[in-house]
Amino acid sequence: MDLRVSDASLSDAHTPGWLSREAIVAKPGFNRWLVPPAALAIHLCIGMSYGLSVFWLPLSRALSVGQPAPAACPDMSLATALFTTTCDWRVSDLVIVFSIGIVMLGLSAAVFGGWLERAGPRKAGLVAALCWGGGFLIGALGVYGHQLWLIWLGMGLIGGIGLGLGYISPVSTLVKWFPDRRGMATGMAIMGFGGGAMIGSPLATLLINTFKTPDSAGVWQTLAVMGGLYSVAMLCGAFGYRVPPAGWQPDGWTAPAAKSAMITSGHVHLDQAHKTPQFWLLWAVLCLNVSAGIGVLALASPMLQEIFGGALIGQPGVGFGQLDAGQKTQIAAVAAGFVGLLSLFNILGRFFWASMSDKIGRKVTYATFFALGCLLYAGAPWAASIGSKALFVTFFCVILSMYGGGFATIPAYLADIFGTQFVGAIHGRILTAWSTAGVVGPFVVTAIRQAQVDAGIQGAALYTRTMYILAAFLAAGFVANLLVRPLAARWFMSDAELAASAKGGNATALGRTGDAGIGRGGVTPLAILAWVAVGLPIAWGIWSTVSKAMILFG
């Protein structure tokens, strides 16, 4: 313990006062409702990781803009693609950026989670802003010089570190500010991650079309502008963070420990959390839920097109393989609306299910995800077999709402089981389940689909086996969640350890009331301004998504 405190003190020794954890302890009169929009400002930026695919096709013709054919090199190896200045990149070379970013998200969240708890969310948010915004700027340089390795480095490696730190930076802070509404508070912030692509994708398309010329794809200029915008927005969010004083609690709030054995009043040290079976059960719960959902996201567009074919454009009975090029373009637009609708439910589910978990409990919420998800996945082939597009779309909208809800509910679940002292760092380590699922889910789904294609299966039957296997993933998750039990008393820190940890920079509520006037709500001009600043982009993104999704029902 002494070593950790010494390390924490050393880490602040060369830190400017305005960046230290002590500088962001809330003063009397601070409104806790200013913290969620600060978190949203960061999550809405890093959520663009889900929308990076908007760049791949323009970048695949970066050298051959306006030419009838790409400047392709058929035998080009991946090593050659990293440094070539004469051959257009393949989409498969570019997609690796997303994979690098998601892997780095999990790794950086796990590695730097403990540092975040010591240094505070402002410092972590600042580093996240520099990495994510700076990653876009490095990517712009890579596009300008046609150097793929720079794009991998900037938007993948460095940007991925920003992803991880930005993702977990508000978690511990929000849980401590809203012990009475843990799920709702974290749901609001993590909703922003799901909404980032909803805002960033149409913005990127708009900028690309603005900057595009006969000689330029307009991508490097777009990346440079977005990198600058993201840096500014995330810095505003980082400097908006405040942490409650040690011992603070909302006025009139009573800790719910006596109401539910699943909500602890103790705190588990970061070094002990991963030694408990509960940690690995929750790791499996998140991994299985994400694997099932992300597998669908990976193939949502082709799945809808291949299952319903001509029925999507008013020609039932005409299979996907029987459509001409013009008809395939039409159903591709319909499928894009489907993907947009899934994204919208992914976002809304993050807030709805996380808020619902405050009322029914995290364990019951996850049990609902897995039980209902199993039924919907198993029922999807039936909906496809009877040709019910409406049922099929509804099933997957609900499934994706629970996929997003799983992300938003897990921080509150961890706080319930392990306490709030190190919840940000523990959440960072649990996110390695996301990195794993990001590989497992798409691989399983695409492998099964290819096996079905090789066997000559077409239409609705093409994805039947996939749906049943994903249902099995959720059945396994249901069992893992069922096995989660409250921790034994031996895992929790003693009062002396808790006090020493708080002295080292990990301030938490110690069971007494806070300073008068701190954290009280109220509609103030500053609070209105903060919520409008994040609310307007969200509203624009929702409008853009819904307008495209309406094609599905046109």
pLDDT at position 522 is 67
pLDDT at position 207 is 94
List the structure tokens of 168.
Answer: 């977990």
* pLDDT tops 60 at residue 269: yes
94-103 mean pLDDT: 88
How many C-beta atoms lie closer than 10 Å to residue 502's C-beta? 17
pLDDT at position 271 is 92
* pLDDT tops 90 at residue 530: yes
pLDDT at position 504 is 54
54-75 mean pLDDT: 84
Q: Please, which pLDDT band fits residue 149 given cuts at 50, 70 and 90? A: very high
Residues 6+ apart with CB under 8 A from 254: none
Q: 553 or 418: which carries more pLDDT confidence?
A: 418
Q: Among the ranges 114-118, 229-233, 261-265, 298-302, which has the highest mean pLDDT value?
A: 229-233
Going by C-alpha positions, the residue among 435, 414, 288 that lies closest to residue 363 is 414
Q: Please, which pLDDT band fits residue 4 given cuts at 50, 70 and 90? A: very low
| Alpha carbon distances (Å) from 455 to 236, 297, 320, 369, 452 | 54, 24, 17, 33, 5
321-342 mean pLDDT: 79
Angle of CA points 379, 384, 386, to nearest 5°: 100
Going by C-alpha positions, the residue among 271, 269, 284, 278 that lies closest to residue 432 is 284
CA distance 172 to 276: 20
List the structure tokens of 487.
Answer: 């921790």
CA distance 44 to 258: 36
CATH architecture of 254-487: Up-down Bundle (1.20)
| Alpha carbon distances (Å) from 433 to 109, 164, 400 | 11, 13, 18
Lowest mean per-residue pLDDT among 33-47, 74-88, 330-344: 330-344
CA distance 234 to 123: 12
Lowest mean per-residue pLDDT among 34-48, 89-103, 183-197, 325-339: 325-339
Rg (CA), the chain: 24
* pLDDT tops 50 at residue 162: yes
- DSSP E strand boundaries for 346-419: none
223-233 mean pLDDT: 98
pLDDT at position 378 is 92
CB 413 within 8 A of CB 282: yes
pLDDT at position 447 is 84
- DSSP E strand boundaries for 487-533: none
257-267 mean pLDDT: 74
pTM over 0.95: no
pLDDT tens column, 426-444: 999 999 998 888 888 888 8
Amino acid code (one letter) for 219 = V
435-464 mean pLDDT: 83
* pLDDT tops 60 at residue 11: no
pLDDT at position 15 is 60
209-221 mean pLDDT: 92
Q: 128 or 301: which carries more pLDDT confidence?
A: 128
pLDDT tens column, 519-529: 666 678 899 99
Q: What is the DSSP string of 209-252?
A: HHH-BTTB-SHHHHHHHHHHHHHHHHHHHHHH--BPPTT---TT
pLDDT tens column, 488-509: 999 999 888 887 776 555 544 4
Lowest mean per-residue pLDDT among 141-145, 190-194, 483-487, 510-514: 510-514
CB 36 within 8 A of CB 189: yes
* Residue ranges of the chain assigned to CATH 1.20.1250.20: 30-242+515-554, 254-487
pLDDT at position 2 is 39
pLDDT at position 5 is 38
CA distance 540 to 344: 12
Given the structure tokens 């299910």, which residue do they identify? 353
* pLDDT tops 70 at residue 12: no
395-413 mean pLDDT: 93
pLDDT at position 260 is 67
* pLDDT tops 50 at residue 270: yes
List the structure tokens of 124.
Answer: 């972590």
Size of the chain, expressed as the number of residues it contains: 554
CATH architecture of 30-242+515-554: Up-down Bundle (1.20)
